[in-house]
């Protein structure tokens, strides 16, 4: 199996040994969380755990093919979340039937097309709730102001093998683009595998948001499982950055009114994406596929209503596309008509529950130039087995489990990295 579809779970032994990056100017430095594999293992508390009620000491497995275990569904974190949901959400929404998971990102939605339309099931026709109602917040699928580009990346953070692209390269390209900022929707599995990368993104001023723990289609989960997917991810993010996000994105856009209501009761706003602004980067195959997607995205370089784009830092290919697209924007120079910004900035609101936000940041491009490809890392991850899953929108995630023989190699590499 090629590393071109690498997920960040493959190096969790390195994350267990590595140290969190330099101190943030917003919160005190937080020691890295200990990754937990299958079975789950205790994770030590850090400075970020203080002030977060019911912070778990055991987190779900890193392997995205393993659902959150029943015993972790009984944790006070989830129980308190369920109390909030049951108090805030009408029974008519909570009792909407659970979709049937059939091994693909788009489940079989109960009741067919009529029910999908009635319950605003996004995969059936890109339905969004533009107005809040009893039981749920309004969705966000675009930036309200002309020419604002809310740029987002899903599924990371990632650390790539030698010579390939990852989250760090995207951050570097954003910095080179006049210090532009983005919103990173992170999976809990990858946040716990690479807490240092998560912290670096936050410290650089990028927004951190929730993309669930296992990247499973949420309409196929029970209310309790949805709560667990969101809150375990939130807890791990809080341990690392000391902030509680208020934006979440459902994997594959798999959301209906029940999922919408559960997330809203937990304090979240669903951030989808503007349907024509999905790069479909996870479908790229080879150099021709990469160039085709880049050419499509470059066609967006014109004045237009504000939008939110969908990109990924889940693999070396998607991260390569992200870097090269940012380089194309920089090369366009001051004539580039759009303003690159994170979602919170384009909405004029904080990405965090405490209401605090960094100073607004949008790009004003310098004269046209070119940017060199970032230097590759000097370290490769251990061997992993991957199971790709492609959604109706083209979004793809990789469920990964570490092969037994890779554990020792990962540990040795982690030790060498510290020496």
What confidence tens digit (pLDDT) does each residue in 308-363 have?
A: 999 999 999 999 999 999 999 999 999 999 999 999 999 999 999 998 765 445 55
Which of 26-30, 33-37, 117-121, 151-155 is the least confident region? 26-30
pLDDT at position 395 = 54
Cα–Cα dist 224/100, whole Å: 16
Band (pLDDT 50/70/90 cuts) for residue 83 is very high
Strand 339-341 to 311-312 pairing: unpaired
| Eight-state DSSP code of residue 376 | P
A 10 A CB-CB count for 361 gives 17
Cα–Cα dist 356/363, whole Å: 21
pLDDT at position 358 = 53
User: Is 113 contained in some domain?
Assistant: no
Q: CA Rg, the chain, in Å?
A: 20
Omega cis (within 30) before 39: yes
Cα–Cα dist 295/416, whole Å: 41
pLDDT at position 411 = 34
User: Is 117 contained in some domain?
Assistant: no
Tell me the residue range of the domain where 406 lies.
3-108+122-418
Cα–Cα dist 100/80, whole Å: 27
226-261: per-residue pLDDT in tens?
999 999 999 999 999 999 999 999 999 999 999 999
User: Is 190 contained in some domain?
Assistant: yes
| Eight-state DSSP code of residue 312 | E
Interval 99-124 mean pLDDT? 96
Beta-bridge partner residues of 133: 136
Query: What contacts 299, CB < 8 A, 6 or more positions away?
Result: none
Interval 91-120 mean pLDDT? 96
User: Is 115 contained in some domain?
Assistant: no
Distances (CA, A) of 305 to 142, 147, 200, 302: 9, 6, 31, 10
**DSSP H helices in 148-222:** 167-176, 188-193, 195-203
Distances (CA, A) of 203 to 21, 181, 312: 9, 11, 20
Judged against a pLDDT cut of 90, whether residue 387 lies above it is answered with no
Distances (CA, A) of 189 to 182, 254, 381: 21, 19, 16
Band (pLDDT 50/70/90 cuts) for residue 77 is very high
Q: How far is CA 335 from the centre of its chain?
A: 31
pLDDT at position 362 = 53
A 10 A CB-CB count for 92 gives 12
pLDDT at position 51 = 87
The CATH number that applies at residue 29 is 3.20.20.370
- 418 exposed, middle or buried (CB, 10 Å; 0-12, 13-18, 19+)? exposed
Beta-bridge partner residues of 310: 278
3-state DSSP call for residue 276? helix
User: Is 140 contained in some domain?
Assistant: yes
Which of 31-40, 90-99, 166-175, 335-344 is the least confident region? 31-40
| 55's tokens | 């912070």
Label residue 326 left, alpha or beta by phi (over 0 means left) and psi (-120 to 50 means alpha): alpha
Quote the mean pLDDT of the chain: 81
pLDDT at position 62 = 95
User: Is 215 contained in some domain?
Assistant: yes
Query: The tokens 């491009």 sit on which residue?
Result: 365
Cα–Cα dist 201/183, whole Å: 9
| 32's tokens | 């890295």
Total structural domains within the chain = 1
Q: Are 181 and 174 in contact (CB under 8 A)?
A: yes
Beta-bridge partner residues of 42: 58
Query: Would you mind telling me the total number of residues written for the chain in this entry?
Result: 419
pLDDT at position 363 = 52
User: Is 213 contained in some domain?
Assistant: yes
7-47: per-residue pLDDT in tens?
333 333 333 333 333 222 222 222 333 333 333 333 333 45
Of residues 316, 245, 270, the one with CA closest to residue 3 = 316
- pLDDT above 70 as % of the chain: 73
User: Is 58 contained in some domain?
Assistant: yes
A 10 A CB-CB count for 107 gives 22
Expressed in angstroms, the distance from the first to the final Cα of the chain is 30
Cα–Cα dist 383/366, whole Å: 42
Judged against a pLDDT cut of 70, whether residue 286 lies above it is answered with yes
Which of 50-54, 102-106, 116-120, 138-142 is the least confident region? 50-54
Band (pLDDT 50/70/90 cuts) for residue 67 is very high
The residue that leads in pLDDT, 119 or 9, is 119
A 10 A CB-CB count for 33 gives 26
| 307's tokens | 């939008």
pLDDT at position 50 = 74
């Amino acid at each position: 199996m090629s590393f071109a579809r690498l997920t960040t779970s493959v190096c969790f032994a390195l994350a267990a040994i590595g140290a969190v990056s330099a101190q943030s100017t917003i919160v005190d430095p937080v020691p890295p969380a200990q990754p937990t594999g299958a079975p789950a293992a205790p994770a030590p508390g850090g400075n970020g755990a203080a002030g977060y009620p019911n912070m778990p000491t055991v987190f779900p497995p890193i392997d995205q093919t393993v659902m959150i275990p029943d015993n972790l569904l009984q944790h006070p974190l989830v129980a308190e979340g369920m109390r909030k949901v049951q108090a805030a959400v009408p029974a008519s929404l909570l009792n909407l039937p659970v979709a049937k998971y059939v091994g693909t990102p788009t489940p079989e939605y109960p009741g067919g097309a009529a029910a999908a339309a009635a319950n605003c099931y996004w995969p059936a026709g890109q339905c969004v709730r533009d107005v809040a109602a009893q039981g749920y917040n309004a969705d966000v699928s675009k930036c309200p102001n002309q020419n604002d580009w809310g740029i987002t990346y899903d599924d990371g953070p990632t650390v790539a093998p030698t010579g390939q692209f990852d989250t760090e390269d995207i951050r570097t390209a954003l910095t080179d683009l006049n210090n532009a900022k983005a919103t990173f929707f992170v999976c809990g599995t990858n946040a716990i595998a690479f807490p240092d990368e998560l912290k670096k993104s936050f410290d650089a001023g990028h927004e951190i948001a929730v993309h669930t723990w296992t990247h499973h289609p949420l309409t196929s989960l029970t209310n309790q499982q949805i709560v667990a997917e969101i809150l375990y991810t939130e807890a791990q993010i809080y341990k690392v950055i000391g902030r509680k996000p208020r934006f979440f994105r459902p994997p594959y856009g798999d959301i209906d009114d029940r999922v919408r209501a559960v997330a809203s009761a937990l304090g979240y706003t669903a951030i989808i994406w503007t349907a024509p602004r999905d790069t479909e980067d996870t479908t790229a195959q080879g150099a021709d596929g990469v160039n085709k997607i880049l050419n499509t995205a470059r066609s967006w370089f014109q004045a237009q209503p504000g939008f939110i784009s969908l990109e990924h830092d889940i693999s070396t290919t998607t991260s390569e596309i992200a870097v090269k697209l940012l380089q194309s924007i920089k090369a366009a120079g001051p004539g580039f008509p759009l303003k690159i910004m994170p979602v919170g900035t384009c909405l004029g609101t904080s990405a965090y529950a405490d209401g605090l936000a960094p100073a607004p940041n949008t790009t004003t491009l310098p004269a046209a130039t070119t940017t060199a490809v970032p230097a590759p890392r000097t370290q490769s991850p251990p061997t992993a087995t991957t199971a790709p899953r492609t959604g109706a929108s083209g979004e793809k995630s990789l469920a990964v489990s570490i092969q037994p023989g890779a554990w020792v190699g990962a540990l040795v590499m982690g030790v060498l990295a510290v020496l």
